């Protein structure tokens, strides 16, 4: 059984329909990259997957359970699905180390020493160990994003959602963040990534999903979608972004 | 016109120093109560229950729409009478009285609490919504997010404004002379009416207020600069 099954997912904001009848299955260990023009609904879909947006219709099955019916228990589900945001969203009043270790301590009842040890290990993994004791606003965007990834990893998630993780970064800082993401993918993490980084999609993704006007237009392995897209809209979009 | 400064200093001075004690007492407790009330009001206003929200708005408008001095009178004279009348319905004689100082603390707590709740509320709304989403995404509940990631930065950003309110409250303690609290103004008024040293007495009074409030204002400005350093 697929780790996550999305069935007939739809989402409207008042009169505006943003997602229309989305059906997807995501297998454990897969790296799924979602691309598409802005306003195509890709971020909204990602945010529906951990219920930061409430779907208007359809089901999202995680390990067979419909998460849209969890009610208050959604907090337990979210502990298993980490999220990395475009604007990092680190807790500004806490140091880098506290950002990474507080959720395991407060939500998973992890001991302080163990949590700290683990946080330091994760910070090492993303190359931010030396900055453990500084506050987020002294870091560059790329550094903040790497801390945000460590923070998400600290909860031992089974799946990670990335919402345009490099879009707010200066071009020279994008590489470090992508490098960390590539290593995660290589380690077998299940990842759903909304991004404009076509290079990342081509090199790392198992599947690339092209969305437009709220529909999933195409869902293919990268070698197919980048060399031989079937749909006209995909072709047009790719020729636009790849020739920039 | 001959001015008797040394007599004013030696007689009114010690009395004013005692008065400062009263002012500090009322301000410290009044401010603490107003902090608690403002926080409760601000948190109540984030509630999703519309009725609670409306009631709190109504209460805040009621308080902000009437003068502080009137509220002091109301608490000091009217509330005990209403309580009396209420308990008389059950045949109980209470003879309730509120001490002037206590009435002052309650009045400050409620009045400043309402104004400061608006400060906290706008600070809460100014916290980057990304902080909430990050907390939720990690698995915190809405309530945990509110108390861990939204209220702390909101309070922190409110501190400079709180500083201004503290200075205002110190000056507003002069209103308490009207309900017979032995604060600075009442002491000065009594002294002036007994000695006719009106110019000296009220000049000294104004100086005392300045000496208290100017340094405090400076502290709050310095604090504001320091706090600006981190976070939004």
The reply to whether residue B153 touches residue A93, judged by beta carbons under 8 angstroms, is yes
pLDDT at B95: 80
Task: Check if A90 contacts B (Cβ < 8 Å).
Answer: yes
Q: Provide the token pair at B220.
A: 């709050």
- CA gap B10, B210 in Å, rounded: 19
Write the DSSP assignment of A37-97 as a string of letters.
Answer: -TTSSHHHHHHHHTTSS--SEEEEEETTEEGGG-GGGHHHHHHHEEEE-TT----TTS-HH
Mark yes or no for CB contact A103/B140 under 8 Å.
Answer: yes
Q: What is the pLDDT of residue B47?
A: 87
pLDDT in tens, B31-61: 999 999 999 999 999 888 899 999 999 999 9
Shortest CB distance from A78 goes to which of B137, B231, B232?
A: B137
Tell me what pLDDT residue A153 has: 96
Where chain A has pLDDT below 70, the residues are 244
Domain with B84, as residue range(s), is: 2-231
Compute the distance between CA of residue B172 and CA of residue B170 in angstroms, rounded to an integer: 5
- pLDDT tens digits, residue range A117-137? 999 999 999 999 999 999 999
Burial class of residue A141 (count of CB atoms within 10 Å of its CB; 0-12, 13-18, 19+): middle
pLDDT for the residue numbered A243:
78
Chain A residues within 8 A of B231 when measuring between CB atoms: 92-93, 135-137
pLDDT confidence of residue B229: 58
Q: What is the residue-averaged pLDDT of chain B?
A: 93
Q: Which residues of B touch A103 (CB under 8 A)?
A: 138-140
Residue of B nearest to A135 (CA): B230
Residues from chain A that touch B226, judged by Cβ atoms under 8 A, are none
For position B222, what pLDDT does the model report? 87
Which of A79, A87, A152 is nearest residue B130 as measured by Cβ atoms?
Answer: A87
| ipTM exceeding cut-off 0.90 for this assembly | yes
Q: Tell me the pLDDT tens digit for each residue of A198-229.
A: 999 999 999 999 999 999 999 999 999 999 99
Q: In CATH, what number is assigned to the domain containing residue B205? A: 1.10.3720.10
Angle at B20 between CA B16 and CA B23, to 5 degrees: 130
Count of alpha carbons within 13 Å of B224, Cβ hemisphere only? 12
From the list B134, B138, B231, which residue is nearest A93 (CB)? B231
B69, with CB counted inside 10 A (0-12, 13-18, 19+), is middle
Question: What is the number of structural domains in chain B?
Answer: 1
From the list A50, A52, A91, the residue facing B149 with the nearest CB is A91
Q: CA triplet A159, B132, A127: central angle to 5 degrees? A: 55
- Best CA proximity match to B220, nearest among B144, B158, B173: B158
Look at residue B103 and tell me whether its pLDDT is greater than 60.
yes
Distance CA A35, CA A196 (A): 6
Strand locations in chain A, DSSP E?
A: 4-13, 16-26, 31-35, 57-62, 65-66, 81-84, 159-163, 190-194, 207-212, 215-220
Chain B residues lying within 8 Å of A81, measured CB to CB? 137
* A231 close to A88: Cβ distance less than 8 angstroms: no
Range 165-224 of B in CB contact (< 8 A) with A = none
Q: Provide the pLDDT confidence category of residue B232 given band limits of 50, 70 and 90.
A: very low
State the pTM of this model.
0.87
**CA A135, CA A150: separation in Å to the nearest integer?**
15
């Amino acid at each position: 059984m697929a780790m996550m099954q999305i069935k007939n997912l739809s989402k409207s904001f008042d009169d505006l329909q943003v997602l229309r009848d989305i059906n997807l299955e995501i297998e454990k260990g897969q790296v799924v990259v979602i691309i598409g023009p802005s306003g195509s609904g890709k971020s909204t879909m990602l945010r529906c997957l951990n219920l930061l947006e409430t779907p208007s219709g359809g089901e999202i099955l995680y390990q067979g359970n419909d998460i849209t019916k969890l009610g208050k228990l959604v907090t337990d589900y979210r502990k298993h699905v980490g999220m990395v945001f475009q604007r990092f969203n680190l807790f500004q009043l806490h140091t880098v180390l506290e950002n990474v270790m507080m959720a395991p301590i407060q939500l998973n009842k992890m001991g302080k020493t163990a949590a700290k040890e683990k946080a330091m290990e994760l910070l090492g993994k993303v190359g931010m160990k030396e900055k453990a004791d500084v506050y987020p606003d002294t870091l560059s965007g790329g550094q903040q994003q790497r801390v945000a990834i460590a923070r998400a990893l600290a909860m031992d998630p089974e799946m990670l959602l990335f919402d345009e993780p490099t879009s707010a970064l200066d071009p020279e800082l994008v590489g470090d963040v992508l490098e960390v993401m590539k290593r995660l993918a290589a380690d077998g993490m299940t990842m759903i990534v909304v991004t404009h980084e076509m290079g990342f999609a081509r090199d790392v993704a198992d599947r690339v999903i092209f969305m437009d006007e709220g529909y999933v237009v195409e869902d293919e392995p990268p070698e197919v979608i980048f060399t031989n897209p079937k749909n006209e809209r995909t072709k047009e979009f790719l020729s636009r972004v790849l020739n920039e | 016109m001959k001015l008797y400064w040394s007599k004013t200093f030696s007689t009114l001075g010690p009395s004013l120093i005692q008065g400062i004690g009263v002012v500090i007492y009322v301000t410290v407790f009044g401010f603490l109560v107003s902090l608690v009330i403002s926080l409760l009001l601000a948190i109540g206003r984030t509630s999703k229950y519309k009725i609670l929200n409306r009631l709190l708005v109504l209460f805040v408008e009621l308080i902000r729409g009437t003068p502080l001095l009137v509220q002091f009178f109301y608490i000091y004279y009217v509330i005990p009478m209403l309580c009396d009348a209420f308990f008389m319905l059950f045949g109980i004689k209470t003879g309730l009285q509120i001490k002037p100082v206590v009435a002052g603390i309650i009045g400050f707590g409620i009045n400043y609490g309402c104004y400061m709740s608006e400060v906290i509320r706008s600070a809460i709304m100014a916290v980057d919504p990304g902080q909430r989403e990050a907390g939720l995404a990690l698995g915190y509940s809405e309530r945990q997010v509110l108390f861990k990631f939204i209220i702390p930065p909101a309070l922190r950003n409110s501190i400079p404004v709180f500083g201004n309110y503290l200075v205002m409250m110190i000056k507003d303690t002069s209103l308490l002379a009207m309900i017979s609290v032995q604060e600075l103004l009442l002491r000065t008024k009594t002294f002036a009416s007994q000695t006719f040293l009106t110019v000296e007495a009220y000049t000294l009074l104004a100086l005392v207020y300045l000496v208290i409030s100017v340094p405090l204002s400076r502290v709050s400005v310095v604090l504001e600069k320091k706090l600006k350093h981190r976070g939004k």
